[in-house]
Structure 1
Amino acid sequence: MIEVFTTNIPNQNKGISVLKKLKKNFPKLNISFDIERTIINYPCDHSILRAEGNTILVENFIKEVNTLGFECDILEDKVCRKQKEI
């Protein structure tokens, strides 16, 4: 199972710190962090946390990120379709 979360973790250094704590608290999960640009306007701007494992307790994961001082939400599964040209 894979869950993808949006967060307001603002930079790579904070992301590494959060990853260390999450990996300690959720040792059975493979967790990764990505950030493309500065987080100014969450949730429009966001960084990504991915968690992979047999069982992911989403509420516990989100609560832990919140406890570390950051917002965290499940990334909605959206299908984007290319619009037809008129």
Structure 2
Amino acid sequence: MIEVFKTDITCADKAKWLIEQIHQTFTSYKANFDLEDCDRILRVVSSNGNINRSFINWLKNAGCNAEVLTDN
């Protein structure tokens, strides 16, 4: 499963740190940022099929406000 999030991350160092934390905490997730996009996209791919519903709360606790982008 792939989930795409709009974030408030603007700093490449903060994005790199978050990616490292995501990979340590959610070992079945692969994540990357696109800070060039106007929505500062975070893409998360789960190898086990689902993105944990508590992931947005985890991001908030890690200092990142995020919301799921829908297909419109």
Query: Deviation string for 1:6-48 (max 9, x for gaps)?
Result: 10011211100111111111110111111016xxxxxxx4311
Q: Which amino acid aligns with 2:7?
A: T
Instruction: Please list every run of 5 or more consecutive structure 2 residues that lacks an aligned counterpart in the other structure.
Output: none
Give the structure with the larger strand fraction: 2
Q: Which of 33, 39, 48 is matched with 1:46 structurally?
A: 39
Instruction: Please list every run of 5 or more consecutive structure 1 residues that lacks an aligned counterpart in the other structure.
Output: 38-44, 79-86
Give the number of equivalent residue pairs. 70
Aligned residues: CA RMSD: 1.3
TM-score normalised to the size of structure 1? 0.74
CA distance in 2, matches of 1:69, 1:2: 22
Percentage identity across aligned positions? 30
Report if the CA contact (8 A) 1:22-1:64 is conserved: no
Q: Which amino acid aligns with 2:55?
A: F
SS at match of 1:4: strand
SS at match of 2:54: helix
